[in-house]
Structure formats: structure tokens, C-alpha cells
A and B are shown apart, each in its own frame.
Chain A
Amino acid sequence: AQTVTQSQPEMSVQEAETVTLSCTYDTSESDYYLFWYKQPPSRQMILVIRQEAYKQQNATENRFSVNFQKAAKSFSLKISDSQLGDAAMYFCAYLSGSRLTFGEGTQLTVNP
């Protein structure tokens, strides 16, 4: 079974600074997708960024980028120029077929 691990229960960053959230996963499959979801206090799950395992190039979405290391099974999220609205719980997730497995989450605080 696939497992996803987020080793940082909480992280904080100063506004306008950069922060990196860690995620590792375990799988024996070669075809899968990885995601970062943001869950603000409203509890709505918001897709931040996705990465296809077969792509070597790291995905980027504006201020959000990932460092995907397939051999190491690592998938970290970098948030640049952090904004107050980035404060939320962030979940790393692994998708293979229809099954989406989430990590434990990292609570990000952005300090003004």
C-alpha cells in the first residue's frame, strides 16, 4: 500500500519570505500523480499543484513550485513570496488510478 509522510506538523514563515514543506511517499508503482492541496479554515480542499511521475521537470504554478525527486520518493513544496492568504493546512497526496492517499498535513502560519 502507498503511504505518504509529512514530517512537519507545523511550519511558520514571515510574509514575503520563502518556505518549503516536505513530503515523502512510498510506492512500488511507476505511474502515478502527486499533489499538494491547501485546506484553509473553510475546510475547502484547494488544489495547489500537481506533478506527473513520468515528467522529470518540476511543476510550477506562480509562487508555488515543487522539488520532485522520484528516486528518493520526495515531493516538497516551495512557496515563494509568502502571503497572509497562504496560511492553511497543506496536504501532500498520492494518486494512482482512482485512489488518493493523503499525508498527515502541515499547518502553515504566515507571520506579518
Chain B
Amino acid sequence: GAVVSQHPSWVICKSGTSVKIECRSLDFQATTMFWYRQFPKQSLMLMATSNEGSKATYEQGVEKDKFLINHASLTLSTLTVTSAHPEDSSFYICSAQQPGQGFNSPLHFGNGTRLTVT
């Protein structure tokens, strides 16, 4: 089956520094990838939609200068949390859409990254 790899699985960084999270589709080409944020005991909230070769589309309320998304290839999207602060501590999950299966192609999720900002 389709596999999405997310790295790192957890990271601790100091306030004011930046951290990059990678999302890779291992056995398929993903033209579209998605980034979600999940607070403890809450649902997944879509942050942005990442399209290969073009700018990401951010959801309302998500700061695009703080959460930089790059989708430079068909198998890799990265999320960089810039100048991280403790309130950015959260669980971040990516998903990739497997193309070629119709308008509503299935989504495959990475294992998530737990970010702690001290």
C-alpha cells in the first residue's frame, strides 16, 4: 500500500529557533500534500495545502510567514516552523493524495511529528 514517511517523529527546539519537518511519499508521486495540526485530545485542523511546484494554500488564520511550506518535488513536502514559540508546540501531521484514482483520491497519512518548543 501507499506509504507516507514523516520525519522527525519528535523534536524539541528552543524558543526563537526554526525547525523543519519532512513529509515524503515513498511509493507514489503526490502532487498534493496537506499539513495538519492537532492539539491534545482535539481534532486535526488543516493548516495548508501544498501543491508541487507552486505556492501553498493556507487556511484562514494560519500565518504563512511562520509556517513555511515547500513542495519542491513530487515526493517531498517540508514544513518549517520559523521563530518557534512555546505556543507552536503541537502535533503536526502530513498527508499525501495519491493521484490517478479520481476526483476524490485517497489520502495517506504520515506518522506525525510532536514538536515541543522550550
Q: How far is the CB of B56 from chain A (nearest CB, A)?
A: 13
Of the residues A44, A99, A102, contact of B111 by C-beta under 8 Å: A44
Contact B103 A99 (CB under 8 A): no
Contact B43 A105 (CB under 8 A): yes
Contact B43 A32 (CB under 8 A): no
8 Å CB contacts to B: which residues of A87-112? 91, 95-105, 107
Contact A43 B43 (CB under 8 A): no
> Could you tell me the distance between the alpha carbons of A103 and B43 in the complex, rounded to whole angstroms?
7
> Could you tell me the distance between the alpha carbons of A42 and B38 in the complex, rounded to whole angstroms?
13
Contact A96 B104 (CB under 8 A): yes
> Could you tell me the distance between the alpha carbons of A103 and B44 in the complex, rounded to whole angstroms?
8
Q: Does B117 lie at the interface of the complex (its beta carbon under 8 Å from any beta carbon of A)? A: no
Interface range on chain A: under 10, 10 to 19, 20 to 34, or 35 or more?
20 to 34
> Could you tell me the distance between the alpha carbons of A104 and B46 in the complex, rounded to whole angstroms?
13
Q: A31-B104, A43-B112 are in contact. Are A98 and B49 (CB under 8 A)?
A: yes
Residues of B within 8 A of A101 (CB): 46
- Stretch of B69-77, B80-88, B89-97 lying at the A interface: B89-97
Most chain B beta-carbon contacts within 10 A, residue among A31, A50, A100, A103: A100
Contact B44 A102 (CB under 8 A): yes
Residues of B within 8 A of A (CB): 32, 34, 38, 41-44, 46, 49, 91, 93, 95, 97, 103-104, 106-107, 109, 111-112, 114
Known: A95-B104, A104-B42. 5 other contacts (CB 8 A): A31-B103, A31-B104, A47-B106, A97-B103, A99-B46
